[in-house]
Copies of this chain bind each other. A is one copy, B any other.
Amino acid sequence: MKNVIVIGAGKSTPSLIDYLKDHAQPCDWHVTVADCDLAAAEARVAGHDRCSAIRLNVENEVRVAEVVKGADLVVSMVPAHMHGPVAEAATHHRTHMVSASYVSPDIRALQEAAEHNGVTLLSEMGVDPGIDHMSAMDKLDELRADNAKIKAFETFTGGLVAPESDDNPWSYKFTWNPRNVVIAGQGGVKFKLNNRYKYVPYHKLFTRYEPLSVPGWGDFEGYPNRDSLRYRRHYDLFGIDTIYRGTMRRPGFCRAWDCLVQLGLTDDSFVIDNLQDMTYRDFVNSFLWYDKDMSVELKVRAMLKLDLNSPSFDRLEWLGLFEKRPIGLDRGTPAQVLQKLLEDKWALAPDDRDMIVMLHKFTYEKGGKIWQTQSYMVTLGEDQQRTAMAKTVGLPAAIAAKLVLTGEITRRGVIIPTVADVYDPVLAELRDHGICFEEQTAEIESNGRSV
């Protein structure tokens, strides 16, 4: 019998742990779920006879090492900065590891030791990163095998709400870490477009969105993500003219979010010390010039040049930014104040379902013509536990864990799923779980319009 340990029992783990439990009998596994909150771990185990729960503080490296030592494979679902010690223990004790997080420098540094010890450290095995890598490489490798010359690769992912839960003017609710949403785009955006390097300053980012649509799922918009250029290395796309990674939102989101950016409400670079006596209205007013006769609403309209019937203004108003309601914080950055407001307004209701959308656009030359293939995947949440996020993050990691233990994945060392012997079997099994890509191909003019 093999031992699998899952460290972390948070929101992204229900589908992962269910998969491991479902395969415990046929694969002859025992699954241990470890979390600092024992009750949370027990809830995931749910009395399964081949599964047990233990309490584990991941900050306690000695205990982590003990737990990892006794396992054949560890699935590390801890916060991003804590994977390092888990990976180190795994390498030392010859335990394979799978995680859904980015390869960190401390994991990268284990390459040689992991190879030497015959250990697989498979990272970026979630949705983004994860399914994005696998689906992109699957298509890119197919195109290259077909002698197509790849000219452009654009890719977009969004964590959104299912259409029937889309009931606010932003068409958005928090389905993941709110702070990352509030400060998204700060710190430099880089991509390449038509053979030109492009950089977008933060205060222009949400005006540089582009319209997108996904057949059957309607319209979206995409704004650029941080550093698209480094994906040239991952996907072996060094000669490519256009490489662009973006985040997907529903139409109107970016323009309205840009209003918050322009006002300064997403600023995370300084602390306001005197929030105790402020309402949200005072907070907004503190970013506007003084005028004894103009209302806060009028100053916002004037500063942002918003018409009376501006949908963006309606979105600001819907958030309650002009309400004389106390903020209820003593001090904080503008971004922290905004996050507090948004956590109220953009909370998922108990019966809301989330939705993950991914869209790739591959533009290539073949047979003297230019073609574009759009490849897309939409996954809906089933309930509060089996959210789209939990399924798309957890299932790739779970499937990979199985394939490593059954010997179908034989690569050792530090790897990510950009290689066919990993992405092929994982994508095949994801399809059985309803996570699959559809695609459409059309000839286009070289300027990107369809013929």
Contacts and interface: CB of A to CB of B under 8 A. Distances in A.
Given A187-B269, A269-B187, A290-B193, A201 B263 contact: yes
A270 interface: yes
Contacts of A190: 270, 272
A285 B200 CA distance: 11
A286 interface: yes
A285 B192 CA distance: 12
Contacts of A310: none
Interface of A: 186-188, 190, 193-194, 196-204, 208, 262-264, 267, 269-270, 272, 274, 285-290, 292, 334, 447
Contact of A290 (B198, B264, B274): B198
12 contacts: A187-B270, A188-B269, A196-B285, A197-B272, A197-B274, A198-B288, A198-B290, A199-B287, A199-B334, A200-B264, A201-B263, A201-B267
A438 B289 CA distance: 30
6 A-B pairs with least C-beta separation: A188-B270, A201-B264, A203-B203, A193-B290, A197-B286, A194-B290
A385 to B, nearest CB: 39
Contacts of A285: 196
B269 A204 contact: no
Given A198-B286, A198-B288, A201-B262, 18 more contacts: A187-B269, A188-B267, A188-B269, A190-B270, A190-B272, A196-B285, A196-B290, A198-B287, A198-B289, A199-B286, A199-B334, A200-B264, A200-B287, A202-B203, A202-B267, A203-B203, A203-B262, A204-B264
Q: Which among A186, A190, A197, A263 has the greatest number of chain B C-beta atoms within 10 A?
A: A197
Given A203-B262, A269-B188, A196 B286 contact: yes
A287 B334 contact: no
A200 B263 CA distance: 9
Number of copies: 2
A264 B199 contact: yes
Contacts of A270: 187-188, 190, 199
A204 B290 CA distance: 15
A202 B200 CA distance: 15
Contacts of A287: 198-201
A4 to B, nearest CB: 40
A264 B200 CA distance: 7
A289 to B, nearest CB: 7
A287 B200 CA distance: 6
Contacts of A208: 289
A286 B190 CA distance: 9
Contact of A292 (B188, B194, B199, B289): B194
A343 to B, nearest CB: 22
Nearest to A271: B188
Contacts of A447: 292
A133 to B, nearest CB: 22
A52 to B, nearest CB: 46
Contacts of A204: 262, 264
Nearest to A273: B229
Nearest to A242: B290
A262 B186 CA distance: 15
A295 to B, nearest CB: 14
Contacts of A202: 203, 267, 269
Nearest to A198: B286
A196 to B, nearest CB: 6
Contacts of A201: 203, 262-264, 267, 287
A190 B292 CA distance: 19
Nearest to A272: B199
A45 B287 CA distance: 52
A295 B262 CA distance: 27
Contacts of A198: 286-290
A201 B187 CA distance: 15
A285 B286 CA distance: 35
Among A186, A263, A267, residue most surrounded by chain B Cβ atoms (within 10 Å) = A267
Contacts of A288: 198
A264 B270 CA distance: 20
